[in-house]
Amino acid sequence: MKHFVLVLSVIFLFSCSQTPKSTPVENKRSALIDYVDPFIGTDGKGKTYPGATQPYGMVQLSPDNGRNGWDWISGYFYPDNVIAGFSHTHLSGTGAGDLYDISFMPIAGTPQMKKLDDVKKTPTIVSAFSHQNEQASPGYYQVYLDDYQVNVELTAGLRTGVQKYTFDLQHQTGQIKLDLGYSRNWDSTVETKLTIINDRTIAGYRKSTGWAKDQRVFFYTVFSQPFASNKVLLNDKKEIHLEPVQGKENEAWFSFDLREQNTIEIKTAISSVSIENAKQNLLVDGLDKTFSDYQKKTEQLWEQALAKVKITADKDNMVQFYTAMYHSYLAPRIFSDSNGQYKGPDGNIHQTSAHHRYSFFSLWDTFRALHPWKTITDPEHSKDMMISLMAHYQAYGLLPVWNFQGNETDMMMGYHAVPVLVDAYLKGIITNDDIDSEALFSAMKKSAMQDDFSIKEYRELGYVPFEQGNWNVSLTLEYAFDDWSIAQMARALGKQDEVDYFLNRANNYRHHFDIKTNFMRAKDKHGEFKVNFDPLAYHPEDYCEANAWQYNFFVPHDIDGLITLMGGTEKFADKLDAMFTTEQSAEQLPEWISGYIGQYVHGNEPAHHVPYLYQYVNQANKTQQRVRQIMADLYTTEPDGLAGNEDAGQMSAWYMFSALGFYPVNPVSGEYILGSPEVNSAKIALPNGKTFTVIANNQSAKNIYVESVSLNGKKHPRFTISHKDIMAGGTLLFNMTSEPK
């Protein structure tokens, strides 16, 4: 569902006699950004935000409803009907919440107070709003606040958020509230500071501890017109007149005379380093630029990013694809300032000159498809991201697990920076000129040879015993894949002893396989399987956000070996069939399990590759049927159109690959497994100036099966296509039919 609203000029839109009305209209432009709907994922399990940002932008300026439940992790939940403010930092589609830093709210007349949940001890200032008076597109967000008769528009530069508040003409004065205590971590603010520099300029910071333990957000804000007066409330909300103001939860109110000008623009740049750096970020983005200047520039950047892949498809698929592509540019994101400085994971300030530094690496999710997608469509920025991973290692001593706001969170598991880096190295995204290969290999080995995270036990026993703690089966399986990835790096460097060692460790997944039940099961330190096994049960002590069914097929580096373990191709195919047909009641499922077909759960990542495994047992038609079923049923154009957390781009990357007709089952192999394309055609603009084209003849909702495949005019004999094939340019042609072949 695309959300459009007609925003007329201020003279006609706002009258002093009535609340403005908006009429949804169909946008007639042919720009690719018009196919993006940022509201997709803001309902249901998606956990996305609808606000304004640039591709990989440091600022994510977006509305917040003010509530603290799981549904509001990104700040905004589509079913809600109030807005509490507009803050400058947000996460896209994660399973845990944080941020909402530097929150502004325009107010006219009497502030409306509402107690939103049991977490906040006092009522919050909010305004009601209607989705009929709201719209969003790449780099732009607009909403009308009913209680205050204020039209709010948001856009963004790379490191600057720009707000535009247009007050109804009936108001002679208006107020803007800045709440430095407002955040996802309500009880975790360490310190805030506010300095009023002059009657147009303020600055300060917010330091907090939450998901990331040491968060620092410095800001510099400039108003387009002077405020007539101000007041600052400190912690207990008592007014204070000291300058500057430091405390835990500073709140400031700025009053404006609206009689001559009822529109106020606010530019706020942020930094992880200092107020001075935030000021410089604003100067670089453009202090003198207007809201319209920022919006136009950001829309141009989004159009350029989306134009790297041009598809033809029906309207819904166009919206799904380009919204997915939009989401894929929201992470990782730039963390270094315009002068190259940034806060490192060691707490110190670091300097870079040649490359941006990126943060927000949700690697447990994104190693699977998001990073391989970037190696095809955006290798330039992918290179900077790889250099950022290595910079994290140089400051912290280990490659990141889940890097966020210049911190290591150790969220989730595995050492999945390894496969991302190996894939980039083997594809030539990074070379010795970017990162010394010996240093890179040493960094990978250090992750694999450490003693923490049950890796000591894994090394000694060949698996993680259940006495060791949660996720033991999942840990072994994911470590085994990472070890296989290290072996590929060792092979590229001619280190045969290391190849043999890590390939041997890559077989550790076999320790968990129980031939009697045909499942991967937990073992004790003596090698005995855990009793009372139930493959349908969600046991966090054994499996990470999954049950035995979903992890049973996580051996992406050795599918042939897994097939042999399970008794051959026929039994393996039967097991795949059973995964998609074994039902259980919704009451037995945790809240975070969603998007399921039998025991296949698309709303979480561990089984994302499973539909493509039928290709390995000569049942391509079942891959084609299941992939198209997932795209048709579990991706829609509604606000709840994502079956699970967007997870920093992984859910979208799965869709983009699958819509084009191939997917990286093993994301380090350089091979993609063919499926069933949902687009009619696609042209990928490659960085070498060549074009890779996908054509799906006769493709439709009925014609989901592949009759034949050709590459560059020749019959394609394999069910894979290599990265080298794609980067060489050419045409991959699918002939589609309605009957399995």
Q: What 3-state class would DSSP assign to 624?
A: helix
Nearest one of 518, 515, 616, 628 to 573, comparing CA atoms: 616
Q: Which residues contact 683 (CB under 8 A, 6 or more apart)?
A: 309, 310, 311, 691, 692, 693
Mean pLDDT check: name the lowest of 13-17, 40-44, 120-124, 205-209: 13-17
With 0-12 / 13-18 / 19 or more C-beta atoms within 10 angstroms meaning exposed / middle / buried, residue 588 is exposed
Residue 211 has pLDDT above 90, yes or no: no
Q: Is residue 421 part of a domain?
A: no
Q: Please, which residues bridge with residue 195 across strands?
A: 203
Q: Is residue 323 part of a domain?
A: no
The pTM (predicted TM-score) of the whole model is 0.94
CATH of the domain at 157: 2.70.98.10
Q: Is residue 471 part of a domain?
A: no
Residue 118 has pLDDT above 70, yes or no: no
Query: Of 287, 305, 323, which marks where a domain is finished?
Result: 305
Q: Is residue 222 part of a domain?
A: yes
DSSP assignment letter at 586:
G
pLDDT digits (tens, 9 = 90+) for 153-203: 999 999 999 999 999 999 999 999 999 988 876 556 688 999 999 999 999
Q: Is residue 366 part of a domain?
A: no
Q: Whole domain around residue 130: which residue ranges? A: 10-305
How far the first Cα of the chain sits from its last, in Å, is 35
Tokens for 156, please give them. Answer: 């963004």
- The reported pLDDT for the residue numbered 100 is 93
Q: How many angstroms separate the CA atoms of 623 and 343, rounded?
A: 45
Query: Of 249, 277, 305, which marks where a domain is finished?
Result: 305
Q: Is residue 467 part of a domain?
A: no
CATH of the domain at 644: 3.30.2080.10
pLDDT digits (tens, 9 = 90+) for 142-156: 999 999 999 999 999
Q: Is residue 524 part of a domain?
A: no
Query: Of 256, 285, 305, which marks where a domain is finished?
Result: 305
Amino acid present at 81: N
Question: Dihedrals φ, ψ of 257, to 5°?
Answer: -85, 115
Q: Is residue 375 part of a domain?
A: no
**Mean pLDDT, range 398-420, rounded to an integer:** 95
Residue by residue, DSSP assigns 70-101 as GGGTTS--TT--EE-EEES---SS-SS-----
Q: How many domains does the chain have?
A: 2
Q: Are 85 and 65 in contact (CB under 8 A)?
A: no
How many C-beta atoms surround the C-beta of residue 515 within 10 A?
9
- The reported pLDDT for the residue numbered 366 is 97
Q: What is the mean pLDDT of the chain?
A: 93
